[in-house]
């Protein structure tokens, strides 16, 4: 009979997310993962088989938490402009308001580091982006039906524009200040 795991896999993945997010895939060593997760090398590799497999599982976990967060903010009360502003300002706050700021987005970081090189990472990041885009699109479609935005506006195009603004904020947030990021948010909102 196999011995039960002595750790919570979700907690380990959350810790791995944080480690990869801070350092990137290539710069994260096995020792960084040991220190970040609190597990020994043997336990890590027994459970996840490799750094690459752990990274892919960490990306999946990141999507679960980050995309769900966006979906929840988009379905909260308020006009479409208020909800989009809330999502984008949440990004600004993440990038400028805490000691963990200037990390960007793990999915964007992974796309920049491994997109087009690692097919599985590329597919996982694409899925993450599509999930968020679909959430934006659904809300823009509802806003168009309710007359909040013009009938001539394409919800999918608005969703892609907003996705580009959101992930652009993540990239800019690595070096820009809060004022510059807030200006991007307001200009994005005005485009609707």
CATH number for 89: 1.10.357.10
How do residues 148-167 score in pLDDT, each as one tens digit? 999 999 999 999 999 999 99
Q: Is 4 a domain residue?
A: no
How do residues 54-111 score in pLDDT, each as one tens digit? 999 999 999 999 999 999 999 999 999 999 999 999 999 999 987 776 788 999 999 9
Given a cut of 50, whether residue 3 has pLDDT beyond it is no
Q: Is 10 a domain residue?
A: no
pLDDT at 111 (0 to 100): 96
**What's the distance, Cα to Cα, between the start and end of the chain in Å?**
60
Q: Is 127 a domain residue?
A: yes
Find out whether 114 and 121 touch, Cβ atoms under 8 Å.
yes
Q: Is 79 a domain residue?
A: yes
Find out whether 132 and 155 touch, Cβ atoms under 8 Å.
no
pLDDT at 89 (0 to 100): 97
When divided into structural domains, the chain yields a total of 1
- Which tokens sit at 153? 């506006």
Count the Cβ atoms, other than its own, within 10 Å of residue 164.
Answer: 13
Q: Is 38 a domain residue?
A: no
- Which tokens sit at 27? 């710069």
Return the SS3 of 99.
Answer: coil
Q: How confident is the model at residue 7 (pLDDT cuts 50, 70, 90)?
A: confident
The DSSP letter of residue 136 is H
Q: How confident is the model at residue 5 (pLDDT cuts 50, 70, 90)?
A: low
What is the residue range of 93's domain? 57-190
Q: Is 24 a domain residue?
A: no
Q: Is 37 a domain residue?
A: no
Count the Cβ atoms, other than its own, within 10 Å of residue 17.
Answer: 22
């Amino acid at each position: 009979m196999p011995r039960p795991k002595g750790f919570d896999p979700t907690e380990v993945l959350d810790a791995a997310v944080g480690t990869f997010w801070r350092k990137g895939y290539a710069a994260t060593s096995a020792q960084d993962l040991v220190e970040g997760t609190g597990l020994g090398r043997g336990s890590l590799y027994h459970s996840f088989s490799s750094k690459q497999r752990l990274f892919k599982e960490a990306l999946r976990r990141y999507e679960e938490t980050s995309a769900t967060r966006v979906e929840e903010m988009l379905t909260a009360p308020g006009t479409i402009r208020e909800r989009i502003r809330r999502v984008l300002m949440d990004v600004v706050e993440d990038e400028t308001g805490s000691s963990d700021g200037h990390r960007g987005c793990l999915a964007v970081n992974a796309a920049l580091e491994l997109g087009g090189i690692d097919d599985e990472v590329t597919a996982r990041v694409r899925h993450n982006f599509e999930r968020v885009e679909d959430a934006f699109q659904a809300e823009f479609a509802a806003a168009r039906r309710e007359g909040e935005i013009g009938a001539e506006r394409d919800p999918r195009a608005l969703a892609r524009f907003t996705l580009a603004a959101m992930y652009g904020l993540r990239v800019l947030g690595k070096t820009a200040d809060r004022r510059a990021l807030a200006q991007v948010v307001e200009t994005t909102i005005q485009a609707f």
